[in-house]
Amino acid sequence: MARGTGQALGGDSLATLADVARRAGVSPATASRVINGSSKPVADELRERVLSAVAELRYVPNAHAQLLARPQRSVVGVVVHDVSDPYFAEVTRGLQRVATDRGRLVIICNSYRDPERELEYVEMLRGQQVAAIVLAGSGYHDADFTARLTEKLAAYEATGGRVAVIGRHEHPGDAVMPANDVGGRLLGEELLRLGHRQIGVIAGPRVLTTITDRLRGLRAALADGGVTLDDDHVRYADFDRDGGARAAAELLDTVDGLTALVALNDSMAVGALALLRQRGVRVPDQVSVAGFDDMPVAADVTPTLTTVRLPLVELGARAMTLALGPAADRSRVEVLPAELVRRESLGPAPR
């Protein structure tokens, strides 16, 4: 294994930064400044000696050590809940597209919806002095966490760092917001149009503000049509296929006469479809199903999934554009639209 902050091929041996310094007749600190491109001045003669030693020893700097050795204004840190989630995979595509176009490297950090881990990542990225931090994913109904996060982000911004968030209300900075409440309202209006009155909702984790927004829009639309969504018609579950299947089973087993299940993301909707298929329940003839987000899988399942489309790639692209663009005098908030995509899984309520 290579020692120090680099390696070189000299027979079977590996050279280190110390080897380069000895060959050049300089201190390791001076060799490091030349190799890592430090802004501290180094005399031309010493610089030439170090570069000659690097060539003679065929020394190759260790990229990871360089990352730790200097501020990374060419790097952008992105904190997501879970990049394996199709929602965040699509958002990340947009983030990376803009960052790549602007010559920036993206570091992806998965918090797995753990607020403490998210705080740790922000602190780590702040320590690395990355050019910008983008937080992609719902905020939390947790006042203490929100205050601590805001404090850390403010400290980072005070050093010249830039911050942009996706889907969060709490941070007083640049934000890109999906129209989650509008999407919920669109679903509610469509359910009413099709005659549904007994509706079950498969919600994600209760602590996420995204769930609150989507559920609020759905409730408002139903209330406008004279339908009250009772609390016992709502089940909170993990934001994935298995969570959707479990919540669908609970609703079917405890609430009589349901004609529709609304999942507040597509992964949970796919789980609900699987559960209904397993039980021999015909969709949409007996029970309709709708989702949220319009993941690529929504058009591939059987029956194809009615859902709310959010411009996920564009959410990521706009957030990265804000983070890397000129700073503004005040916070900028961009709201990207939601639209209803009608497919086969949502039909008229059974008579």
Query: Are 254 and 291 members of one domain?
Result: yes
| Beta carbons within 10 angstroms of residue 147's beta carbon | 11
* Residue 305 · residue 279 · CB < 8 Å: no
With respect to residue 346, please indicate whether it lies within any of the assigned structural domains.
no
Query: Are 215 and 318 members of one domain?
Result: no
With respect to residue 260, please indicate whether it lies within any of the assigned structural domains.
yes
Domain of 42, CATH number, reads 1.10.260.40
List all residues 6 or more positions away from 280 whose beta carbon is below 8 Å from its beta carbon: none
With respect to residue 126, please indicate whether it lies within any of the assigned structural domains.
yes
- Out of 292, 310, 328, pick the residue that ends a domain: 310
| Beta carbons within 10 angstroms of residue 30's beta carbon | 20
Q: Is 252 helix (H, G, I), strand (E, B) or coil?
A: helix
Tens of pLDDT, residue by residue over 93-133, are 999 999 999 999 999 999 999 999 999 999 999 988 899 99
Query: Are 205 and 259 members of one domain?
Result: yes
Tokens of 292: 């949220």
Query: Are 223 and 286 members of one domain?
Result: yes
Q: Which residues pair with 4 in a beta bridge?
A: none
* Number of structural domains found in the chain: 3
> Can you give the pTM of this predicted structure?
0.79
Query: Are 123 and 147 members of one domain?
Result: yes
Domain of 217, CATH number, reads 3.40.50.2300
* Full residue range of the structural domain in which residue 48 is found: 6-69
Tens of pLDDT, residue by residue over 213-268, are 999 999 999 999 999 999 999 999 999 999 999 999 999 999 999 999 999 999 99
pLDDT score of 89 more than 90:
yes
SS3 sequence of 112-136: CCCHHHHHHHHHHHHHCCCCEEEEE
